[in-house]
Amino acid sequence: MKIREELKILEKNILNCSFACKKSNNARLFGRNLTDEYSSIDVLFLGMAPQPETYNSKEKRIIFGPYSPTGKRIKNLLFELQTIFNNLSCWGTNCVKCNVAEDEIPVAITRCATNLKNEIEILRPKAIILFGKTVVENFLKEKFSVGRVSSWQEVACMHYYHPMERTGRFMKHKGIVFDFLKTVYR
């Protein structure tokens, strides 16, 4: 089965999820291609969960969308990455696929784990960049340390700042991302 077909099946499973949460606008967000390439994914960006306040219409419910602050920062990073790495294909997704209240995140992470694992296995990225402490601690079960490289099922993973971190370190320290990707793509 081709990647697109497998992703369509997985997306349908996610959209049909019956997990009810207290804080939801019924948005179930599947990952998406952030660049033009689709045949293989070089880098997977992994966030935690969609924020309901950034999705006020169904048409805009896409992960790391250009209307959201997170999406804008990722778009800027991607622009710079594309100038260094030609034809770099990137995918964005979250550990949790729907809006949940803060106190429901641990349960949602557990419920979404199989879908996330399947998504990554279908895409087979060469590298994963994990955005923020919560993602690292829940996905890799490791202590967060910016720039730390480890692996998940033989895929190189790097801990990095969350795009919405208020200190501005996300773009200020982007060299860490560039250096990581240079080692992955030798």
Task: Show the tokens assigned to 172.
Answer: 């200020």
Enumerate residues 6+ apart whose C-beta is below 8 A from 99.
21, 23, 24, 25, 27, 49, 50, 51, 52, 55
Instruction: Convert the pLDDT of each residue in 71-83 to its tens digit.
Output: 889 999 999 998 8
Is residue 17 within 8 Å of 28, Cβ to Cβ? yes
Phi-psi region of 118 (alpha: psi -120 to 50; beta: other; left: phi over 0): alpha
The domain locations on the chain are 3-184
Whole-model pTM: value is: 0.89
Instruction: Convert the pLDDT of each residue in 7-60 to its tens digit.
Output: 989 988 888 877 755 555 556 677 888 876 666 899 999 999 876 555 555 545
Q: Can you give the pLDDT at residue 42?
A: 93
CATH of the domain spanning 3-184: 3.40.470.10
Distance of alpha carbon 52 from alpha carbon 68, whole angstroms: 11
Distance of alpha carbon 51 from alpha carbon 27, whole angstroms: 10
Q: Give the burial class of 40: count Cβ atoms within 10 A of its Cβ; 0-12 exposed, 13-18 middle, 19 or more buried.
A: exposed
Confidence of residue 98 (pLDDT cuts 50, 70, 90): confident
The phi and psi torsions of 151 (rounded to 5 degrees) equal -140, 160
Dump the DSSP string for 112-160.
Answer: HHHHHHHHHHHH--SEEEEESHHHIIIII-S---TT-EEEETTEEEEEE
